[in-house]
């Protein structure tokens, strides 16, 4: 990042926190030092949690806050540390009381072998050294390391004493260059990291996609996409992508449609819902104002209009995408279509217009269905057997490919939390959350915690309403993992 841009970020953060930015943090850190001097070696689980709250204390615009390193040092991670007070007291005593060279060596051994101080992550050992000498040491959290990396071009890690000392040396040099106090460095470098991220954007793909480009856009194997295409072009010309939320069903259907259709203008998208009807999809009577009052006219629905366009252009291909297909009463919405999809060379008489109607062979129909939706069980067999069924389960390989193309993304965080939730819910469970929840350009520990707290935990609570204790354990473990990787 340019010096000018860094200066702008520093000024913006200081304005955001107010004139007592540094002094409030110095006062909060002094409270932590006093707590450690008084409680060192005798902390129980309750006092360990209290320590975490003190570490997170700071001020913003004159108000006391307790989110300086959130999600690090929050209740979940400190509760885990509190399950083994003996180890916690022993290790914190060493890091707080040993001479600096020995304490640095202890930190290096912890970073090399994490079970030595389980759940402490990289932040707690480094924070204790930072408290001992804020000018010499820094707090090792991912956001700070990624922000500093934007400034220096060096990738930092917390895996050895040498790596930590390199980070601290570069952090000191950066602070001196920009006149940044030790207490404000973590907030400013977090803002630097976020400012340097590119705005999320859809991949630049051509209008008409080949199989390889569909696979690339979906982070799937080419062979998988090719099998779907073969199933649709050599057999039934309709298929449904089914899987839990967050597996990319709609995204995959839209990209595959751009391969099948001869023009993007030949693609129609409809989202079904409980009020969606035959009249919306095929045809129905609609009121029209006239001189004599209201009169009713027959109007074709969205699918009937697409079929007319396809019939007039037999050399082109057209695609209808139906999102959330199982949310409507499909037998009522489809009507004669259930028969016509199977027998495309046959015509039937539509009930309102009394005209003859068929589905042209150059029309493909792609649907998506959410397996977590209980209405899926209500689908009748007549409909199921007329669609190719394309499963899209939670897929670690998709997430792995996505993170591989983003060197500044937190792959360890995304994959770690995804695996934990998938394994606990069960990879084959119809409600197991998908990989796309974690495919966000702005992912860091704070964002990951918000995704869990406001999207996935409420979703799982609905389906695990008879297992509150299990959900509680998963909640604690997810928050702990996020904090450890913060």
Domain that holds residue 184: 3-196
The answer to whether residues 334 and 289 touch, using CB atoms and an 8 Å cutoff, is no
Domain boundary among 375, 391, 407: 391
- pLDDT tens-digit readout, 412-447: 889 999 999 999 998 888 889 999 999 987 788 888
Q: Do both 256 and 308 map to the same domain?
A: yes
Helices (H), 56-122: 75-81, 85-97, 100-112
Q: Do both 284 and 364 map to the same domain?
A: yes
- pLDDT tens-digit readout, 61-98: 989 999 999 888 988 889 999 999 999 999 999 999 99
Q: Do both 376 and 450 map to the same domain?
A: no
pLDDT at 380: 59
pTM above 0.85, yes or no: no
3-state SS of the chain: helix, strand, coil percent to 5?
55, 10, 30
Is residue 211 pLDDT above 80, yes or no?
A: yes
> The domain spanning residue 333 has which CATH number?
3.40.50.300
Is residue 199 pLDDT above 80, yes or no?
A: no
pLDDT at 445: 87
Q: Do both 30 and 175 map to the same domain?
A: yes
pLDDT at 23: 96
Q: Quick one: pLDDT band at residue 232, thresholds 50, 70, 90?
A: very high
Q: Quote the mean pLDDT of the chain.
A: 90
Q: Do both 366 and 473 map to the same domain?
A: no
Query: Of all residues in the chain, what percent carry a pLDDT higher than 70?
Result: 94
pLDDT at 201: 52
Domain boundary among 128, 161, 196: 196
Is residue 297 pLDDT above 80, yes or no?
A: yes
Strands 363-370 vs 318-323: parallel, antiparallel or unpaired? parallel
Q: Do both 336 and 366 map to the same domain?
A: yes
Is residue 203 pLDDT above 70, yes or no?
A: no
Terminal Cα distance for the chain, rounded: 23
pLDDT at 114: 92
Is residue 207 pLDDT above 80, yes or no?
A: no
In a domain, 201, yes or no: no
In a domain, 293, yes or no: yes
Give how many domains the chain has, as a whole number: 3
Question: In sequence order, what are the residues at sequence separation of 6 or more whose Cβ sits closer than 8 angstroms to the Cβ of residue 320?
Answer: 267, 268, 269, 270, 302, 303, 306, 363, 364, 365, 366
Q: Do both 64 and 175 map to the same domain?
A: yes
In a domain, 40, yes or no: yes
Domain boundary among 170, 196, 222: 196
Q: Do both 228 and 138 map to the same domain?
A: no
Is residue 198 pLDDT above 70, yes or no?
A: no
Q: Do both 372 and 406 map to the same domain?
A: no
CA distances from 226 to 213, 231, 299, 452 (A): 11, 9, 38, 34
| Biggest alpha carbon–alpha carbon distance for the chain | 97
Beta strands in 314-362 (DSSP E): 318-323, 348-349, 356-357
- pLDDT tens-digit readout, 383-419: 778 899 999 999 999 999 988 877 565 788 899 999 9
Cα–Cα distance measured from residue 188 to residue 10, given in angstroms and rounded to the nearest whole number: 6
Q: In this structure, which long-range contacts are made by residues 9-17, counting pairs with CB atoms below 8 Å and at least 24 apart in sequence?
A: 9/188, 9/191, 9/192, 9/195, 10/178, 10/180, 10/188, 12/191, 13/184, 13/187, 13/188, 13/191, 14/184, 16/60, 16/61, 17/59, 17/60, 17/61, 17/184, 17/187
Q: Quick one: pLDDT band at residue 336, thresholds 50, 70, 90?
A: confident
In a domain, 202, yes or no: no
Query: Of all residues in the chain, what percent carry a pLDDT higher than 90?
Result: 71
- pLDDT tens-digit readout, 368-386: 998 877 555 555 566 778 8
Q: Do both 410 and 313 map to the same domain?
A: no
Which residue did the predictor score with more confidence, 485 or 17? Answer: 17
In a domain, 248, yes or no: yes
Cα–Cα distance measured from residue 73 to residue 468, given in angstroms and rounded to the nearest whole number: 25
Q: How far is CA 71 from the centre of its chain?
A: 16
């Amino acid at each position: 990042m340019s010096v000018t841009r860094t200066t702008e970020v520093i000024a913006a953060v200081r304005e955001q926190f107010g004139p007592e930015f540094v002094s409030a943090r110095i006062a909060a850190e002094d409270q932590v030092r006093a707590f450690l001097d008084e409680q060192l070696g005798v902390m129980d689980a309750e006092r360990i949690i209290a320590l975490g709250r003190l570490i997170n204390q700071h001020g913003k615009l004159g108000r006391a806050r307790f989110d300086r390193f959130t999600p690090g040092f929050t209740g979940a991670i400190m509760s885990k540390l509190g399950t083994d007070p003996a180890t916690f007291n022993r290790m914190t005593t060493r890091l707080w009381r040993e001479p600096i060279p020995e304490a640095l060596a202890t930190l290096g051994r912890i970073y090399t072998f994490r079970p030595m101080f389980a759940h402490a992550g990289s932040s707690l050992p480094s924070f204790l050294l930072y408290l001992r000498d804020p000018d010499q040491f820094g707090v090792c959290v991912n956001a700070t390391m990624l922000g500093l990396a934007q400034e220096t071009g060096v990738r930092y890690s917390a895996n050895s004493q040498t790596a930590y000392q390199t980070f601290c040396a570069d952090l000191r040099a950066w602070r001196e260059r920009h006149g940044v106090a030790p207490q404000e460095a973590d907030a400013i470098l977090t803002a630097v990291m976020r400012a340097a991220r590119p705005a999320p954007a859809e991949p630049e793909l051509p209008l008409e996609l080949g199989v390889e480009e569909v696979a690339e856009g979906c982070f799937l194997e080419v062979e998988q996409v090719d099998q779907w295409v073969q199933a649709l072009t050599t057999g039934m010309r309709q298929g449904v992508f089914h899987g839990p939320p967050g597996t990319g069903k709609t995204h995959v259907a839209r990209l595959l449609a751009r391969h099948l259709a001869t023009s993007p203008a030949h693609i129609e998208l409809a989202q079904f819902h409980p009020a969606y009807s035959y009249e919306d999809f095929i045809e129905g009577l609609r009121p029209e104002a006239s001189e004599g009052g209201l009169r009713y006219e027959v109007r074709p629905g969205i699918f009937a209009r697409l079929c007319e366009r396809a019939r007039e252009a037999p050399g082109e291909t057209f695609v209808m995408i139906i999102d959330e297909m199982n949310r409507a009463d499909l037998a009522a919405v489809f009507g004669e279509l259930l028969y016509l999809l199977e027998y495309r060379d046959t015509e039937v008489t539509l009930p309102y217009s009394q005209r003859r109607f068929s589905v042209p062979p150059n029309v493909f129909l792609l649907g998506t269905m959410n397996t977590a939706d209980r209405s899926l069980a209500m689908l009748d067999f007549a409909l199921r057997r007329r669609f190719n069924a394309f499963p899209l389960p939670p897929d670690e390989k998709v997430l792995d490919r996505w993170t591989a193309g983003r060197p500044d993304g937190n792959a360890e965080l995304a994959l770690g939390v995804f695996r934990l939730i998938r394994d606990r819910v069960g990879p084959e469970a119809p409600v197991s959350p998908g990989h796309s929840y974690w495919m966000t350009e702005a992912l860091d520990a704070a964002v990951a915690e918000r995704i869990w707290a406001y999207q996935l935990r409420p979703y799982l609570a609905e389906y695990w309403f008879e297992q509150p204790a299990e959900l509680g354990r998963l909640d604690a473990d997810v928050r702990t993992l996020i904090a450890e990787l913060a």
